[in-house]
Amino acid sequence: MKKITWRRAIGWLLALAILFFLVRTLWSSWGQVVQSGITFHFDVPLLLVSVFLLVPGRSFAVEAWRRILRALGNSIPFRFAIYAWFVSNLARFIPGNVFQLAAMMALTERAGVSKINIVLSQAVYAVMALSVAALYGLTLLPLPPESISLIGIAFGALIILLALPAMFRLMLRISAQLLRMVRRSAEITTPRVTTTFWQNLVPPLFSVMMWTINGFAFWLFVRSITPISLAQLPAYIGMNAAAYFIGYASFITPSGLGFREASLAFFLGAFFPAPVAVAIAFLARLWSIAGELLGVGVAMLWRPKADERRTSNEASSSVIRPSS
């Protein structure tokens, strides 16, 4: 229990320290904004569109995770997956990034979903989503114009790699081994599943769609504050994904607090003076929270009835069962 307490304390201290230095930068150098000639405007309709886009964007992530969970033998309706995903997301603000799993387990337990399968499916999805996010982040490097085709090839190669049945089994095996080490239980074994390339293709493709839509929404969000060009859209998609990657990798801070803002401010520094970049990074956190709360609202309004919160036991060719 002490380890958990200290971990939370360290997470909050790191987050607060980073936020303090960001605020100090914002406060001490705001005069640069006046001299830069940057203009601000607040386009409320555009801002609302950017927030609403976060829900369908993250719904692609939900479907990617649901397909992975189905491959492990637990098939749940999309409506229930939306409910479990968005509601459990509220626990992400607790330091550790593990409480979301606990909340998701509690929400899906009555539906007959295996707790181990929840952990494994989330681990495999995280590998896919973070791999795509990291590749998007690499697009921020100063690359020559002729490398655009190489970037497209890299995305295609990554999607194909993640869709290979052998890679899917490898991700499962590594996830199960890590879980066995953490839980110190020899009873946790790697699920033996049979999948095809085409079935595995959906999760990585939907991960790309999720980061692309979220990045476009982020561009709209910044565009609702200050004029930016459409030509900068790829950079905003890349920096949004890269900042999430860095925030997730920080692990001990609540929902990447501090680390995401610092990295986003650094990326935005290529387009704005430092204080403006920091201000947008702070506002982006509030914008992201608004999108998550909107998703929770949609999930609660659309939540399934009690008798619908159960795993489908109907065997069909579209449902992949673990092999014996």
**DSSP letters spanning 246-281:** HHHHH-SSGGGTTHHHHHHHHHHTTTS-HHHHHHHH
* Chain mean position to CA 5: 26
Which residue carries 């337990």 as its tokens? 109
Alpha-carbon distance 256 to 240, whole Å? 13
DSSP codes, 137-158: HHTTS---GGGHHHHHHHHHHH
pLDDT value at 21 more than 80: no
pLDDT value at 3 more than 50: no
Looking at residue 274, what is its pLDDT?
81
pLDDT value at 314 more than 50: no
20-32 in b/e burial notation, b at 16+ Cβ within 10 A?
Answer: eebeebbeeeeee
Looking at residue 95, what is its pLDDT?
54
Q: Which two tokens stand for residue 313?
A: 């036991």
322: pLDDT confidence band, cut at 50, 70 and 90? very low
List all residues 6 or more positions away from 193 whose beta carbon is below 8 Å from its beta carbon.
71, 72, 73, 168, 169, 172, 320, 321, 322, 323
pLDDT value at 315 more than 60: no
Hey, which residues does 322 pair with through a beta bridge? 193
Residues of the chain with pLDDT > 90, as a percent, come to 40
List all residues 6 or more positions away from 152 whose beta carbon is below 8 Å from its beta carbon.
none
Q: Which two tokens stand for residue 107?
A: 């929400």
Residues of the chain with pLDDT > 70, as a percent, come to 74
Q: Answer yes or no: are the C-beta atoms of 50 and 220 closer than 8 Å.
A: yes
Alpha-carbon distance 235 to 150, whole Å? 16
Residues in the chain: 324
Looking at residue 136, what is its pLDDT?
93
Burial class (CB in 10 A: 0-12, 13-18, 19+), 106: middle
Residues 220-234 have pLDDT tens digits of 999 999 889 999 999
Q: Answer yes or no: are the C-beta atoms of 136 and 239 closer than 8 Å.
A: no
pTM equals 0.82
Select from 244, 231, 232 the least CA-distant residue to 270. Answer: 232
Greater confidence (27 vs 42) lies with 42
Q: Answer yes or no: are the C-beta atoms of 173 and 120 closer than 8 Å.
A: no
Looking at residue 36, what is its pLDDT?
57
Looking at residue 268, what is its pLDDT?
93
Looking at residue 253, what is its pLDDT?
62
pLDDT value at 188 more than 60: yes
Residues 47-97 have pLDDT tens digits of 999 999 999 999 999 999 999 999 998 889 999 999 999 988 877 666 555
Residues 235-264 have pLDDT tens digits of 999 999 999 898 887 766 666 666 788 889
Residues 116-175 have pLDDT tens digits of 899 899 999 999 999 999 999 988 877 777 677 888 899 999 999 999 999 999 999 998
Average of per-residue pLDDT across 107-121: 86
Select from 216, 222, 213, 234 the least CA-distant residue to 139. Answer: 234
Hey, which residues does 227 pair with through a beta bridge? none
